Amino acid sequence: MTDTNRPHPNVPGVDQSDRLVPHNLRQSGPTPVQMLISTRVRKSPFWHLSMEAGCWRATVYNRMYHPRGYIKPEDGGAMAEYDALVNRVTLWNVAVERQICVKGPDAEAFVNRVITRDATAIEPMRGKYTILCNEQGGILNDPVLLRLAQDEFWFSTSDSDLLLWLQGVNVGLRYDVDIAELDVAPVQVQGPLSEDLMVDLFGDAIRDLEYYELMEADLAGCSVLISQTGFSGEAGYEIYLRDATLHAEAMWYAILGRGARFGLRVIAPAHHRRIAAGILSWGQDMDNETSPFQVNLAYQVPRKKEADYIGRAALEAQRDEIDAGRYPFKLKLVGLRMGGCPITDYAPDFWLISSPDGVRVGYVTSPWWSPELECNIALGYVPWNMSDIGTELRVALPERYTDVSGQLVAATVVEIPFRPSAHPSAREQARASGRDWAD
């Protein structure tokens, strides 16, 4: 028989009763292992180029190997990469952002059915940050959606199998579209000197490119699509290389060659900076059992969209509950300023959050050290009644980040983002103007 009084290693004291698959809250620590490189996980066209650039660790994202560290810890590690990003310019291998193309006479209608925002409002050669939800209102993916033409959209996907879902949905809907992955691989050029480097690569037209606007261009004989977007909170661009399996080296070396005069450095995607900007990471801060209303994405659920979309009934019911002052979820994502020693690398666990009297109530999803704020910052889940700005909490950090072994560090709920971004999100812009950001 099971001893029901014995504490469970998955910490059931944190209420996840509204999830079918609770997050694993076991505190296993780093558990070092060697990653097996094999043919069942795809290598991107830039994989070997990342190895040349010094990549020493990786993870798996969208069933592809994903570089996640170039500067060794003894040389400054992730915080040295952070310095390059916020002070100069950086190049990221983000080919794991698979490009799913929806093309055909019904492309607009199909895309409008699967995203929560209004696809008809996206003009050709423009993009938007979007979400796709299941019928329960859970977030399936949060891609940047690029509209190249009236009948062509690209989903630049986050870490879930969106291609199969889109194809499966259309088995029943039968829109007149082709849905397929493209041989397109993006890189990101991010940092305060990114515009100067991009002008050097593509000419002065870059200076007129608006946020989320697209531009066709040529680089070293390669056809590319450029967008002014990024995952950093800094100024930046994405360069989408067509026929990437053929031209990866030509484009990569062209960027490195021109970038040298700007102090360009190849780094991993900057999770330390995206946390400060309040940018979410799918699978870490949200997943298919997370509602947009839990993670500050209510602006992605319009009140006035005419066309129906998948998840609409559930999302509108959730919003009605919230408007009535009733909260239909156990936990809400908040920003935290935390004590403790500087967190300068990825967290291997969802670290536990407690109330001031020591009761476990939630968990941290994305923590890091902020040099500008001179404290640790984090995104994390807490009960709704503990989510107000200024709420005092405690966090159980690993020993390496505490002055006293076993002692919880102080944490305070604060506004997101933690520091200004080059391009404020739609939510931030709406809050600043005083309008309802769910319209």
Q: Give, in order, the Cα–Cα distances in Å from 25 to each of 95, 348, 349, 401.
A: 30, 11, 7, 18
Is 374 annotated to bind ligand? Answer: no
Distances (CA, A) of 21 to 51, 132, 287, 435: 36, 20, 11, 36
290 three-class SS: coil
Identify which of 389, 385, 379, 386 has the alpha carbon closest to the alpha carbon of residue 415.
389
Tokens standing for residue 120:
């008809």
Tokens of 260: 């040298």
Residue 306 Cα distances to 121, 133, 169, angstroms: 12, 17, 20
Query: What backbone torsions phi and psi does residue 360 show, to the nearest 5 degrees?
Result: -70, 125
Alpha carbon distances (Å) from 432 to 129, 295, 391, 425, 437: 19, 19, 23, 11, 10
Question: 132 has which bridge partners?
Answer: 115, 141
Find out whether 391 and 332 touch, Cβ atoms under 8 Å: no
Pairing status of strand 90-93 against strand 265-266: parallel
Report DSSP state, residue 136.
T
Pick out the residues of the known binding site for substrate: 238
Pick out the residues of the known binding site: 238
